Amino acid sequence: MKDAQLFALTPGEPAGIGPDLCLLLSREAQPQPLVAIASQQLLAERATQLGLDIRLLPVGPGHWPQRPADAGALYVWDTPLGAPVRCGQLDPANAGYVLETLTRAGRGCLDGDFAGMITAPVHKGVINEAGIAFSGHTEFLAELTQTQQVVMMLATRGLRVALVTTHLPLRQVADAISAERLERVTRILHADLRDKFGLDDPRILVCGLNPHAGEGGHLGHEEIDIIEPTLERLRAEGMQLIGPLPADTLFTPKHLEHCDAVLAMYHDQGLPVLKYKGFGAAVNVTLGLPIIRTSVDHGTALDLAGTGRIDGGSLLVALETAYQMAASRAKAG
């Protein structure tokens, strides 16, 4: 197949809906070869539970597929479970299995076997219960790839939102926004929009931190002291950075119409708008990694595992985004 690129798909928590998503996805042929890094036994059992007739095709190092699987088939790199799985019932004995799937996918991307990896949700708590320090996909992959700084970006059709700070209590946000951090995040966002999204001169809208972007210093000085000077320095290098703008008016059609991404100062400044616009059809992208990684925007949904009552829209967007990013990177050389 011309221009075929191989991608890795990790189903995440085995007791959640990740395995279901992989199986439901395989009812339709994908435009690129896709390998589920998972227990073949788990997928076979879940397919039976869901009433799906899916052919599981074993692959692995030295035996990678060169073309997409047909509709009703799924390539699987068999990865042994630590313990039997029951839908909806977490088991710390499978924490090592989950991390092994991520390690295989990440190393495969680094080695050039995979053009990118797409991740279904994991359950952080049960991994920690197994005695393994784990704070999430992003941090795990940053350590695996020896990456110092990564940036969280969520995207849906028509909107991308990256974050200067992520999972911090609101009380700590202002102190965390330094000129150095803002510059690092902006540089990573700008570079990956060019390298992985094929945007030659990305236009980025930047939120202020305070209401009304500080109201000229009457509602806070972070814009005057930190944000504006940092943006000015980066604009002098040729970056298209508009702001800081008040967040309550930035997320309107007038501003977003010609925008490639929004840079929000904190989690709940930007993500409620994005999730309102595209929940169930959004993707989480980790910027700054040397590899391509996208993820669904939802959790493990333990109560829905094995029921078939799930929406695969977010996984489809995650796949589409990974394919597009890899194509842009290949085109760039």
Q: Which residues are annotated as a binding site?
A: 137-138, 167, 212, 267, 275, 284, 293
Nearest CA-CA partner of 104 in 291, 305, 325, 302: 291
Q: Quote the tokens at residue 282.
A: 């959004």
CA distance 114 to 35: 9
Known binding positions for substrate? 137-138, 275, 284, 293
Beta strand pairing call for 203-207 and 240-245: parallel
Q: Quote the tokens at residue 284.
A: 């989480």
Task: Provide the angle, in degrees to the nearest 10, between the axes of the packed helices 228-235 and 179-195.
Answer: 40
CB neighbours (10 Å) of residue 155?
22
CA distance 36 to 8: 6
Contacts of 168-175 with CB under 8 Å at 24 or more apart are 168/266, 168/267, 170/266, 170/268, 173/209, 173/265, 173/266, 174/209, 174/220, 174/222
Percentage helix, strand, coil, to 5, in the chain?
40, 20, 40
Residue 70 DSSP label: P
CA distance 318 to 120: 9
CA distance 149 to 141: 11
Task: Kindly report the backbone phi and psi dihedral angles of residue 168, in degrees, each rounded to the nearest multiple of 5, phi listed first.
Answer: -120, 145
| CB proximity list for 332: less than 8 A, separation 6 or greater | 194, 195, 198
- Whats the size of the chain, residue-wise? 333
**N- to C-terminal Cα separation, the chain:** 20
Known binding positions for a divalent metal cation? 167, 212, 267
